[in-house]
Amino acid sequence: MLPPKKKQEDESPSQPPIRKFGHFLTFPSAAPPQPDESKPLDESPSQPPIRKFGHCLTFPSAAPPQPDESNPLVQDLSQPAPEVHYLEDPRYSLEHSVLAIAATFIFLALAGIAAVFSLRSDEETPVYYAAVPGAIASREETPDSPEKIIKKAVSSFLSGEKDRAKQLLARVDLAQAASPPAWELAGMLKEDAGDSRGAMEIYSRGIAAAPSEWLFYRRAILHRASGEFDLALDDMDRATASPPVHHLLSNERLLLLIQMGRQDQARAELQALNARNAEPAGWIFGLCGMALQDGKYQEAGRLLASGKQSADPSVFQQILKNPVLSRHQARPELMPFYFSNLQK
């Protein structure tokens, strides 16, 4: 062992630094070199920094050298790692921007649909809920138009809520509305209350203000009930004057002719309807009335059954009220129709 020579190598400023790349540096026959205590390793201008690349640099009998902390290449592991910034692909950002915009529009569309379905209205004082941007949903009462009130009143009457229909119709000025259904409903409410004279007056006023086939029909029924058959037939002729003629009106007119004893006129009109292939639903109940007048009860029962299949239920129930048919309801051939009608 040559200590002087070793000392000379340690003090040489041109001696390259000791590097260790993943293995242990050992001296089997000599003591390991000692650093110069009078001159710190990190203050030597000629000594390069000791770098460590993932492995251990050890000295069996000496403390390991300390890295140069002033060198920016040497990182202190006790300090947090620097923040890493990644460069984004412009296409990637554009795709996400487009998706975000599309998602926003979809959300707004769904919100709009939800707002439409959230509209609530009461029959008397409808309440509309509208979403106002930047504000709480507001509640606003909006009055109904006369047309909407009339529709609600008719619907209430047909469903059996007659008091409700009367209250709704009271909110409509019949003269200003000029609505045939409103006049018809007003007359029907009078009839339901047992005021036939008041109903007749209402129908007459409605015909003067806004004539319709149904107002003529309603007044004809009242004339028939009071025995004024000529006036009833006159109103029935007006009700069926303009095609297309409703099946109820055409059948009621034929039955009125039979009730008035004008069987020949009724039979001629039935033959004319059959000759021009008119729809059977428009005259089958009149033919049934003719069969009853001739005493052909089984045929009348078959015709009534066929008419029930082809006619609207409301039309069939109204036809059963006709005196030409109802006075025979005790007959076995007709009783099942009236019995089933009473069960509804």
Residue ranges covered by each domain of the chain: 146-242, 244-344
CA 99, 105, 111: angle at the middle one, nearest 5? 135
Q: Enter the DSSP assignment of 332.
A: T
Two domains, one topology: 146-242 and 244-344: yes
Return the SS3 of 224.
Answer: helix
- Quick one: pLDDT at residue 31? 53
CATH assignment of 146-242, given 1.10.10.10, 3.40.190.10, 3.40.50.2300, 1.25.40.10? 1.25.40.10
pLDDT in tens, 10-26: 444 455 555 544 444 44
Please identify every stretch of the chain with a pLDDT value under 70, giving residue numbers as ranges. 1-98, 111-143, 340-344
User: Tokens for 91?
Assistant: 């296409």
How confident is the model at residue 143, as a pLDDT? 59
Task: Say which CATH class 244-344 falls into.
Answer: mainly alpha
Burial of 65 (0-12, 13-18, 19+ CB in 10 A): middle
**The token pair that represents 75 in the structure block:** 């990182």
pTM above 0.85, yes or no: no
CB 22 within 8 A of CB 53: yes
The whole-angstrom separation of Cα 38 and Cα 17 is 19
Residue listed under structure tokens 């149904």: 214
Q: What's the pLDDT at 320?
A: 95
Residues 6+ apart with CB under 8 A from 13: 46
